[in-house]
Amino acid sequence: IDPQLDLVAEIQRLKKEKNAVLLAHYYQEAEIQDIADYIGDSLGLSQQAARTEADVIVFAGVHFMAETAKILSPEKKVLLPDLKAGCSLSDSCPPHLFAKFKEQYPNHTVITYVNCTAELKALSDIVCTSSNAVQIVESLPADEKIIFGPDKNLGDYVRRKTGRDLVLWNGACMVHEIFSQERIDQLRREHPQAKFIAHPECEREILDQADYIGSTSGLLKYTKENPADTFIVATESGIIHQMQLASPHKTFIPAPPNNACACNDCPYMKLNTLEKVYNCMRFDLPEVDLPADVIARARKPIERMLEISE
């Protein structure tokens, strides 16, 4: 790429030329968020993917999100700037093992968190995201037997919120399991007025300390509406960009991880760069596609979620 090239102007030009829409998750680099047509959490992004009139969806996020967009809009071209942008949580639940696990619990309804492969969605009855998981579980009759996967932390949180006895798959996100309770306690002593907010993919010990628990869009809304001036944020640090834009006079501190060398950046989300966004739009590659039968089977549980969350 010519170093003189104005990538932002080029991406805007390609959007018009190709009738493309750029969807970005809150964990993306700030410069990608700044040129996106829509920024959101997993639910918001899938709702956008379902309703867009664009011919091309450029998904600045991770692979399972681009797959979800393809499942909802199979006639559209879906581009992912870096095909290696996977997800540790999705990887923690291989579909063939989950199929065996499911066999052990006949007569159970299977709810899968959207952070999983299309194959896994195809094995489930309803999909959920972190913003509607409680609502989805509560939409089922009280005596319904439920398997919930792949995130055991979100599952445990939903179990406690709803009082339902969910069977959990033992999966987790590497970014949300990295926080140090000890270092968070220390930080809270240094900032006694600060609100501590956390994503439900965090472990129970972290969630138990939180003033507010929510999806990325829930956390963002809380920081806009709550009068506190300092927030300690236990999720991927990309979300702080929108928090800071919405509340320029407030202070946002990323919750500290358990090892001074680590950080709470998602290594998969951060694989996408402005240059890769430009290249994928220029060459229409890499494209995310799925076999028609997987699309057909995975679509039903996602549509069920969208109907319940409307």
Member of 22, 62, 234, 240 binding ligand SF4 (CB under 6 A): 62
- Asked if 247 touches ligand 13P (CB under 6 A), the answer is no
- Binding to ligand SF4, residues 103-122 (CB under 6 A): 115
Applying CB under 6 A, among 58, 89, 134, 240 the residue interacting with ligand SF4 is 89
Residue from 68, 73, 115, 124 binding ligand 13P (CB under 6 A): 115
Sheet order of strands, 230-234 included:
212-213, 195-198, 230-234, 251-254
Contact assessment for residue 47 and residue 288, using Cβ atoms and an 8 Å cutoff: no
175 sits near ligand SF4 (criterion: CB under 6 A): yes
Angle at 56 between CA 55 and CA 58, to 5 degrees: 155
From the list 14, 24, 60, 87, which residue makes contact with ligand SF4 (rule: CB under 6 A)?
87
Residues 11-40 that bind ligand 13P (CB under 6 A): 26
Residue from 28, 33, 42, 46 in contact with ligand 13P (CB under 6 A): 42
Tokens of 54: 């664009």
Q: Rounded CA gap, 193 and 150, in Å? A: 35
Q: Which residues contact 66 (CB under 8 A, 6 or more apart)?
A: 57, 59, 78, 79, 80, 288
The encoded tokens of residue 152 equal 């055991």
Cβ proximity to ligand 13P, 146 vs 239, nearer residue: 239
On the CB side of 142, how many CA atoms lie within 13 Å of its CA?
Answer: 1
Residue 60 lies near ligand SF4 (rule: CB under 6 A):
no
* Binding stretches for ligand 13P (CB under 6 A): 26, 41-42, 115, 129-131, 173, 199, 201, 215-216
As annotated, the binding site includes 25, 42, 87, 113-115, 130, 173, 199-201, 216, 266
